[in-house]
Chains A and B, each alone.
Chain A
Amino acid sequence: MLSETNYSMSELVYLFVDGESTPLQNDILFNALASNTDLQQELQEAILIRDTLVSDSVALAVPLKITTTIFQNAGVALPSNLVVGAAASFGEKIFLGFKSIALPLFTAVGGAFIALGFMNYFQSENNASNNTLAGTNLNKYTNNNPNTFSNNRNNKLTDNNFSNNKISNNKHNNITTANEIVAKKEDKIEESNITTSILKSNETQVYNKSIAISQSALAQNTSLLNQILFTNNNNLTSSPIGNLPINNSEFITSYNEKLPLSFAVRGMMNLSSFPAGTKSTANEVPSNFTISIGYDLTAETKIGIEGGRQSIRYYTFENGKNEKATQRESIDWAGAYIRHNFNELTFFNLTPFANGTLGATVSGPTGRMITGFKWQPENSISLSAGVEASTFFYQKSSNWQNISALGFIYQVEINY
C-alpha cells in the first residue's frame, strides 16, 4: 500500500476533489498549490469534471415507463408520488405540446375563419345600406348620418355605453330626426296643396301631378326610413313612422330579447407542469380541449358549465387495491365557471377577462383559473387567448395531493 505522501501532486488533486484525501495530503497539496499555477489549473478542471459528472447523473432519471413495468412485474402498486416520473426534455415538451393541441387548434382556426366570414358578411351588408342612402335626401335632413347610428350600435352595444343609454339616445335622436323629416315632407305637401288651391289656373293638373310626385316621394322616403331602421338595428322591428319615437325602455326590452347564451370551444397548449417532474403526455386521443355553455348574468359577467379533457399522466388501479396499475394519458373533468370581462379596461378592442372554474374529476376536485384578453370582432363571435392554471387533486394514503399545470389557452365563443 502506498504511503500517504507517495502520490504525485496531480493525483492528490483528484483525491482531494473526490473527498478521499487525508488531512496530511491536503496540507501537502495546499502548499504546492500556492506556488504552482499549473496545479491550480488542474484543480479547477478536476472540479469542473466532477461537477459535470454529477450534473449528468442528476439528469439521468429513471423513466416512468420502466418504474411502472418494474412495479407491475413485482406485483406492487405504483405509489402516486412516483407517478410524476421523469421530466421531459424541452424539445419533447414542445413536440408533445403541439401534438396534444392539434384538434383544438384546428377548431380554433376554423372558428376564426367563421368569425372572419361573419365579419365580411356584415361589412358588405352595411356597405349596401350606405349605398342606398347615398342617393336620398335623408342625409340632408338629418344632422347625424344614419350610418353613425349603425356604427354606434354595432360597436358600443357590448360596452358600458349601453348602460349609459348612449345607444338608446342616439337611436332616439335619429328617430326623432326621422319624424322631423316626415313632418317637413308633410308640410311641403300641404304647402303645395295650398299653392295649388291659390293658383286655380290651368296648370292645376300640373300641380296635382307634382302633389302626386311629392306624395310618392314621401312614401319612398318613409319606406327608406323603415329600411334604414330595419337594416341598422336587427333587434328593432321596422316601426311604422306613426309609432316613432321608440323610447329607451322599449329598446332595452328589445335587447333583452336576444338570447343571453353562448357556446365556446377552448384549446390549451401545456407550458409547464408541477411538480417539476410531471410529464406532458403524448395522447392517442385528442385532449387539452374544453367545451362550455355560458349564460350572461350581466353585460360583463357570465356563468356556465364546462367540461373537457386534459393531458395529465396518472394511474388507475384494479379493484382499487393497486393490484395492477394502468397508465392513463389524460383526465376528463367537468365543472361550473364564472367569467368577468373588464370592459372598462378595453384597449385596442381587447378586453381583459378572468375566469374561474371549480369542478371534479374521477380522482377528486379540480380548479382552474384563466386570465387573458378577449377580442370581439362581431356581436356573435368572440376570440380569447390567455394563460390557464389548472390543478387536480387526488388522495394518497388519506392525504390530499395535487398536480398542477400551466398552459396557453385560445378560445372561440359563439353568442346567441
Chain B
Amino acid sequence: MIQKVSNKSDEQLFEMLSGDKAKKEAGFTELYQRHSQRIYQYCRRICVNDELASDVLQETFLKLLNAAQSKQVMTNIPGFMLRIARNHCLDIRKKQNKQVTFDNIEIPSYDISLESKELKHLLVIALDALPDEQKEAIVLQAYSGLSYQEISEITNVPISTVRNWVVRGKKKLREILAPYIKELEQ
C-alpha cells in the first residue's frame, strides 16, 4: 500500500529527496510546507530584516537538499534546519553588531488607547531590545513552537538555562510594556 506523502515522517521525506525527480519534488514540497513557516518566523524575528530572513530560509532548504543528496543520515530534520538557520542568523547578527540596550530603547507613544495591533508592534520593538540569547529563546519558544527541551537541544545549553532565558526575557517584556498594557486595560 502506498503511503500518502503527508503521512510520512520527516526522515522518510528526507530520504525521498535523494530519490527520483517525482519523489524529490513530493518530499521537498511536503517538508517545505511543514517547516518553512516556523523557520521563516524565527529568521524574521532574529534577523529583523525581511530580505536577510528570506536569504537564510533559502540557504536552509538548499542545505537540506544538499545534505539529502550526499546521503547524510538525519534523525531530527526540524532541529537540523533550525540549527542551519540559527547559525546563519547569528552570523548576520554578529556582522550587524547591533547592540540595543534595555535603557535606550525608544517606543513610540500613542495618544489613543492601544489596540492589539499596536501592542504587537510595540512587542516586536521590545523583543529586539532583549539580550540575544533571551530573544532567541523566546522566538524559538513562541514563534517556532519549540519546548524548552527542544530549544536546549538546538542551542546546546542546559534546559535550566533556556528556562531562565525565557522567563527573564518575558519578565523584561512585561516590564517594558507595562505602561502600555495598563493603558490598554483602561
Contacts and interface: CB of A to CB of B under 8 A. Distances in A.
Interface of A: 1-2, 10-11, 14-15, 18, 20, 42, 45-46, 48-50, 52-57, 59-63, 66-67, 69-71, 73-74, 76-77, 79, 82, 322
B40 A60 contact: yes
A70 B174 contact: no
B37 A55 contact: no
A18 B167 CA distance: 9
Contacts of A77: 25
Interface in B1-53: 24-25, 28-29, 32-33, 36-37, 40-41, 44-45, 50
Q: Which 7 A-B pairs have the closest CB atoms?
A: A53-B142, A57-B143, A66-B54, A14-B167, A62-B40, A60-B41, A76-B28
Contacts of B58: 66, 69-70, 73
B163 A20 contact: yes
Contacts of B100: none
Interface residues of B, number: 43
Contacts of B173: 49
Contacts, number: 98
A55 to B, nearest CB: 6
A70 B181 CA distance: 40
Interface string B53-74: 0100110011001000000000
B166 interface: yes
B123 A53 contact: yes
B75 interface: no
A1 to B, nearest CB: 6
8 contacts: A11-B167, A14-B167, A15-B163, A53-B138, A60-B37, A60-B45, A63-B54, A74-B62
A14 B170 contact: yes
A55 B142 contact: no
Nearest to A20: B148
A268 to B, nearest CB: 29
B57 to A, nearest CB: 6
Contacts of B171: 10, 14
B36 A74 contact: no
Interface string B132-171: 0000001001110001100000000010100100110011
Of the candidates A1, A61, A62, A71, the one having the most CB atoms from chain B within 10 angstroms of its own CB is A62
Contact of A73 (B62, B124, B141, B163): B62
A60 to B, nearest CB: 5
Contacts of A62: 36-37, 40, 57
A80 to B, nearest CB: 11
Contacts of B61: 70, 74
Interface in B84-139: 116, 119-120, 123-124, 127, 138
B178 to A, nearest CB: 8
Given A18-B141, A62-B40, A73-B58, A56 B123 contact: yes
A1 B142 CA distance: 24
B145 to A, nearest CB: 8
A45 B170 CA distance: 10
B124 A14 contact: no
Contacts of B160: 1-2
A15 B164 CA distance: 10
B177 interface: yes
A156 to B, nearest CB: 55
A14 B143 contact: no
Contacts of B142: 50, 53-54, 57
B153 to A, nearest CB: 15
A20 B147 contact: yes
Given A60-B40, A62-B40, A74 B65 contact: yes
Contacts of B40: 60-62, 66
Contacts of A11: 167
A34 B29 CA distance: 50
A84 B70 CA distance: 33
B143 A53 contact: yes
B13 to A, nearest CB: 13
Contact of B29 (A42, A56, A69, A79): A79
Contacts of A14: 166-167, 170-171
A348 B120 CA distance: 48
Contacts of B167: 11, 14-15
B85 to A, nearest CB: 13
B163 A46 contact: no
Contacts of B62: 70, 73-74
Contact of A70 (B32, B116, B119, B120): B32
A76 B166 contact: no
A38 B61 CA distance: 46
B143 A60 contact: yes
A320 B178 CA distance: 57
Nearest to B40: A62
Nearest to A77: B25
Contacts of B28: 71, 74, 76
Contacts of A20: 147-148, 163
A83 to B, nearest CB: 12
